[in-house]
Each structure stands twice: as structure tokens, then as C-alpha cells.
């Protein structure tokens, strides 16, 4: 945990990162293959750090809501792990893919079993599992995330969800391909409806850092007063989730992120990235311009600079 007397140092680090990041604007592009995201103003940057002692630090556009996109896969995976336990692993793997997040190539050679829960195919299987377990998965997921953020108004962006659903032909193909191998139970159309709504959930950096605090705190969420609140996961499952985030959370750039940043992360094509420093806190950063792998250009830079300035890394937790 960061000692109280070092808080000014963290604030100064965020201010420095915010200043340095401005020079990177224009080096990426918004996710224009989703029409609603193509209209997001690109030159935005926010960053929030939440510590396990309940304190938070923020800079830039940290209170601006954005579409969390694939970061939602983290929350659906946790929900499925809680309800399914080890049975989950009969339908999805735990290995890095090394391929693009929406690739179909490995599915054929691996008989319809996605490599991990964070690529699109794996996330669709997770959503299929949850669709079987919940009559209204979209509201069950929102309920959990509203508790984690202490925000009863948290919701998804209807226009973004519709835009994704209308252009999600590859995701539909992935679902039907896995169904041909018997690894998909529900109608793909129904699962895609749920999947697009979960990806269209909007959160700010400050909310995202708070919502993932349980992964830095042995599986327990923090209440408004900073004391342990909801028990989301066991310590053992928390460790396993963080391990998967470290190896699989940044699409086919996971190895580069582990090398440069050294923290468990989950990225999203909305420009958000959340990082976990077990035992210390969480970091959420957002900037809509993406690199060729679909990860935020400024977000990756900001996380790398933060670990350089603070010394945080996974092994130190």
C-alpha cells in the first residue's frame, strides 16, 4: 500500500503523465469500425488511481463516461467464474491467443474452444453461459456493476449497443462457428444482444478503478468508507483472474504489455485500460485513439510511465 506521506508524489506523477501524454495525440485512431465509436472526439485523456486504503487520485477527463467495450469481458468472466467454478474451463481455455481479438483462425484448429475468456470468441462463450443462467443477463450484470461503483444510474449506451449489433457480423460468425462444434447453447442472436449491451456499458476512469478494486484487495470490494464490503471472489480465484489478465488481457499485445508495464490489465477498443496492482490499488486510464492492436495509445503510455515513476509491478505485490 502506498504510505500516506507519498500521496503528493502520486499526484505529481499523474500531473506529469497528463502533461507528457499530450504529445501523443494524433498517433492513433478511434475504433471507426463501430460507427457510434467513430464519432467520439479523439483528443481526450483521463486517468484515475484508487488505493486499497480508500483514497483516490485523478487527472484529466477521469470523470467522463466512455464505452468500456472489452473491459466488460472482465466482469462477465468473474460472474461466470463465481457461478460455474472449474466447469467453466471445459468450454474456454486459459492460454494467450497471439492472434487478433476477433480472429476465427484458431477456432477451427482447436475444435470451437476459444483460447481464453478475453478474446471475442471466448467472451461470447462466457456470455452464452451467463445467458443460460440469467433470464435477464443485461440487468444482472448492470446490478453487479452498480454495486461495485456505488452508482445506481450506471447503464449502457443504447446507440452504441445498436451500432455494434448492426455491424457485428464477425461476432455472429464466431458464435455460429462455435455452435457448429457444440460449444454454444443459446441462439446466437440472443447472446449477441446481451454481448453488445455489456460492451456498451459506460463508465468513467474513476468508476472503473473503483469497480475493479476487489482484484487488488484479495477479492473483496471496498465500501464508500474504504472498508471491505462485498466478497466478489476468493483470494485464490482473485489470483487466477489477475494471472489471466497479465497473460491475456491486452489482445495480441499481452506480451508487450507484460514486458513494458508488468501489471494485469484489460483493454477495450473504447480506449479504456484498467490495471491491477495487487495489494496496492487499481489504475484506470482512457483515451480513444487506438494503436494497430486495438489498445489505447495514450493509455499504454500512461501506464508504462506510472510504473516507472512509482515502481509498481506485479511481482512487488
Which residue ranges make up each domain of the chain? 4-69+203-310, 72-199
- Pick the closest to residue 196 from 33, 67, 65 (CA basis): 67
**For residue 212, what are the contacts with CB-CB under 8 A and spacing of at least 6?**
74, 148, 274, 276, 282, 284
DSSP state of 226: S
CATH superfamily of the 4-69+203-310 domain: DD-peptidase/beta-lactamase superfamily (3.40.710.10)
**Catalytic residue check, 314:** no
Q: How confident is the model at residue 316 (pLDDT cuts 50, 70, 90)?
A: very low
User: 124 near 118, Cβ under 8 Å?
Assistant: no
Q: Pick the more confident residue, 207 or 313.
A: 207
- The reported pLDDT for the residue numbered 102 is 82
Q: What's the pTM value of the predicted model, to 2 decimals? A: 0.94
Q: Report pLDDT digits (tens) over 35-64.
A: 999 999 999 999 999 999 999 999 999 999
Catalytic residue, candidates 40, 49, 67, 73: 73
Residue 73 a catalytic site member:
yes
* pLDDT tens string 15-40: 999 999 999 999 999 999 999 999 99
Respond yes or no: is residue 40 known to be catalytic.
no
Annotated binding site for substrate: 70, 120, 164, 171, 195, 251, 269
70 catalytic, yes or no? yes
Q: Between the CA of residue 66 and those of 141, 200, 202, what are the distances in Å?
A: 17, 9, 5
Going by the DSSP 8-state scheme, the letter that residue 99 receives in this structure is S
Burial (CB count <10 Å: 0-12, 13-18, 19+), residue 202: middle
pLDDT in tens, 66-84: 999 999 999 999 999 999 9
Q: pLDDT-derived band of residue 312, with 50, 70 and 90 as boundaries?
A: confident
Catalytic site residue from 251, 266, 287, 314: 251
The reply to whether 4-69+203-310 and 72-199 are identical in fold is yes
How confident is residue 8, by pLDDT bands cut at 50, 70 and 90?
low
Helix (H, G, I), strand (E, B) or coil at 255: helix
**CATH for 72-199, options being 3.40.50.1390, 3.30.1490.20, 3.40.30.10, 3.40.710.10:** 3.40.710.10
Instruction: Please write the tens of the pLDDT for every residue from 193-237.
Output: 999 999 999 999 999 999 999 999 999 987 655 555 668 999 999
Catalytic residue among 160, 269, 274, 285: 269
Amino acid at each position: 500500500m502506498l504510505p500516506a506521506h507519498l500521496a503528493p508524489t502520486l499526484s505529481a506523477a499523474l500531473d506529469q503523465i497528463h502533461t507528457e501524454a499530450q504529445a501523443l495525440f494524433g498517433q492513433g485512431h478511434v475504433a471507426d469500425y463501430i460507427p457510434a465509436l467513430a464519432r467520439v472526439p479523439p483528443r481526450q485523456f483521463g486517468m484515475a488511481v484508487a488505493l486499497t486504503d480508500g483514497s483516490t487520485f485523478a487527472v484529466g477527463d477521469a470523470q467522463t463516461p466512455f464505452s468500456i467495450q472489452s473491459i466488460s469481458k472482465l466482469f462477465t468472466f468473474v460472474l461466470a467464474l463465481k457461478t460455474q467454478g472449474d466447469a467453466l474451463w471445459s468450454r474456454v481455455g486459459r492460454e494467450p491467443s497471439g492472434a487478433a481479438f476477433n480472429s476465427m483462425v484458431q477456432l477451427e484448429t482447436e475444435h470451437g474452444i476459444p483460447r481464453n475468456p478475453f478474446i471475442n470468441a471466448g467472451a461470447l462463450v462466457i456470455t452464452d453461459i451467463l445467458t443460460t443462467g440469467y433470464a435477464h443477463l443485461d440487468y444482472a450484470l448492470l446490478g453487479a456493476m452498480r454495486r461495485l461503483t456505488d452508482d445506481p444510474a450506471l447503464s449502457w449506451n443504447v446507440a452504441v449497443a445498436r451500432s455494434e449489433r448492426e455491424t457485428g457480423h464477425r461476432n455472429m460468425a464466431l458464435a455460429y462457428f462455435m455452435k457448429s462444434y457444440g460449444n454454444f447453447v443459446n441462439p446466437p442472436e440472443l447472446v449477441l444482444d446481451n454481448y453488445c449491451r455489456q460492451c456498451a456499458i459506460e463508465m468513467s476512469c474513476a468508476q472503473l478503478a473503483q469497480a475493479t478494486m476487489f482484484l487488488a484487495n484479495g477479492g473483496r470490494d471496498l465500501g464508500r468508507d474504504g472498508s471491505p464490503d462485498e466478497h466478489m471472489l476468493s483470494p485464490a480465484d482473485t489470483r487466477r483472474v489477475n494471472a489471466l489478465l497479465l497473460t491475456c488481457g491486452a489482445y495480441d499485445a499481452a506480451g508487450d504489455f507484460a514486458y513494458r508495464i508488468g501489471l494485469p490489465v484489460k483493454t477495450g477498443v473504447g480506449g479504456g485500460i484498467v490495471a491491477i496492482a495487487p495489494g496496492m490499488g487499481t489504475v484506470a486510464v482512457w483515451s480513444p485513439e487506438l494503436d494497430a492492436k486495438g489498445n489505447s495509445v495514450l493509455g499504454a503510455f500512461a501506464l508504462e510511465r506510472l510504473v516507472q515513476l512509482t515502481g509498481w509491478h506485479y511481482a512487488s505485490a
